[in-house]
């Protein structure tokens, strides 16, 4: 694996880095420390800038109007986009196009006209509903929401939990059990939020003080058969294939805040004096900075190894799981050490460190908890006999 950047990749990195530092970071001085949105006028202006850069819609395939960017370059961009206060939750406040429900690229032509293109144009908001109160780490077995065929429709009943943005969405992807236990019994449906029987029961608040997830209740929700995404019983495959790939830039975003946190810690250690000498001369501080540097290099190597294999078309399930596992774990340690070096200032909202500390803790659970990633890795190492 060659980690040397091409000339084009270096130009993109430099361009995105300038954009984050000159356009995004100055705006945050006037925002609430937990903000995840920009004022409309700033958002629209920055979106136009990103479009002129040719980088809008990073998750969108070229055939649907997105830039032709490989996964390695996508990760390089993710690292840069993570280096501001809201970088781990709302990288660049979604002016690069935000997260797309990539599963909709599997839709039929009719479904694409009705649901995909309005999402790509930014006219409609979409949610993704896989997890349930019974457990989100093993959706193939944990899904209890039932879908029963009724003529040309399906009747859905059940509850979904930890669903982001459902209360603000126009429609979404919802996974329900149409058959027996296991992966083959799960089907993906496109569900509109205004339909009778769809109810956002409550907001579920988490460590993100300004953000929350939703609990969704489905009561005799009638969904047309034509709103099945893919094939009946093929929902798990649709969800899993995309999630596995998405974990790689997800890992890269964790690297971004680690890089910035360490950069801040190094600079602070040089100017902060205790007992007549700067912190940078204290061996205890030096070792913390060394550990940060080692962890960051390890995260980069693992993430780009996974991205390279995915770009080549090689199997990358294990590499994706390792990257997600290590980056979500190690970046938390980097942020923690950086907070310690800053002392009391490290936990103050004057700096982004305390927000990153909260956000990165969630990353150890999102996109599959660390323990699930270990199970995936163990299954590939030991064999498919593990369930």
The catalytic site residues sit at 367
Spell out the SS3 assignment of 293-316.
HHHHHHHHHHHHHHHHHHHHCCCC
Helix axes 353-363, 317-342, angle to 10 degrees: 150
Spacing of C-alpha 143 from chain mean position: 22
CB 257 within 8 A of CB 188: no
> Two tokens at 387?
């369930």
Residues with Cβ within 8 Å of residue 312, at least 6 apart in sequence: none
CB 228 within 8 A of CB 188: yes
| Residue 232 DSSP symbol | T
| Residue bearing tokens 């109007």 | 65
**Count of CB atoms situated within 10 Å of the CB of 118:** 16
């Amino acid at each position: 694996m060659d980690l040397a950047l091409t000339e084009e990749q270096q130009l993109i990195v430099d361009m995105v880095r300038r954009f984050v530092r000159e356009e995004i970071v100055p705006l945050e001085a006037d925002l609430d420390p937990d903000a995840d949105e920009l004022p409309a006028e700033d958002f629209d202006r920055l979106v136009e800038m990103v479009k002129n850069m040719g980088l809008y819609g990073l998750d969108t395939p070229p055939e649907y109007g997105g830039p032709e960017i490989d996964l390695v370059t996508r990760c390089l961009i993710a690292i840069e986009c993570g280096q501001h206060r809201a970088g781990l939750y709302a990288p660049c406040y979604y002016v690069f196009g935000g997260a797309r429900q990539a599963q909709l690229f599997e839709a039929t032509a009719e479904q694409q006209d009705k649901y995909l293109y309005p999402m790509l144009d930014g006219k409609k908001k979409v949610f993704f509903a896989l997890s349930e109160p019974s457990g989100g780490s093993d959706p193939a077995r944990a899904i209890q929401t039932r879908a029963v065929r009724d003529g040309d429709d399906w009747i859905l009943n059940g509850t979904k939990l930890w669903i982001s943005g459902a209360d603000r969405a126009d429609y979404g992807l919802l996974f329900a059990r149409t058959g027996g236990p296991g992966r083959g019994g799960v089907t993906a449906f496109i569900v509109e939020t205004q339909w009778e029987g769809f109810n956002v029961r409550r907001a579920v608040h988490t460590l993100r003080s300004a953000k929350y997830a939703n609990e969704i209740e489905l009561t005799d929700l009638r969904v047309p058969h034509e709103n099945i995404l893919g094939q009946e019983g093929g929902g798990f495959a649709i969800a899993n294939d995309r999630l596995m790939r998405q974990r790689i830039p997800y890992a890269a975003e964790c690297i971004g805040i680690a890089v910035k946190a360490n950069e801040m810690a190094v600079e602070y250690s040089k100017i902060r004096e205790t007992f007549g000498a700067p912190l940078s001369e204290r061996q205890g501080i030096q070792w913390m900075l060394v550990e940060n540097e080692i962890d960051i290099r390890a995260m980069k190597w693992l993430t780009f190894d996974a991205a390279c294999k995915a770009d080549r078309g090689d199997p990358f399930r294990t590499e994706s799981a390792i990257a997600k596992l290590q980056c979500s774990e190690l970046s938390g340690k980097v942020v923690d050490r950086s907070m310690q070096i800053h002392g009391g200032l490290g936990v103050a909202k004057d700096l982004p460190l305390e927000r990153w500390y909260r956000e990165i803790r969630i990353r150890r659970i999102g996109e599959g908890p660390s323990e699930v990633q270990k199970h995936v890795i163990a299954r590939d190492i030991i064999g498919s006999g593990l369930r």
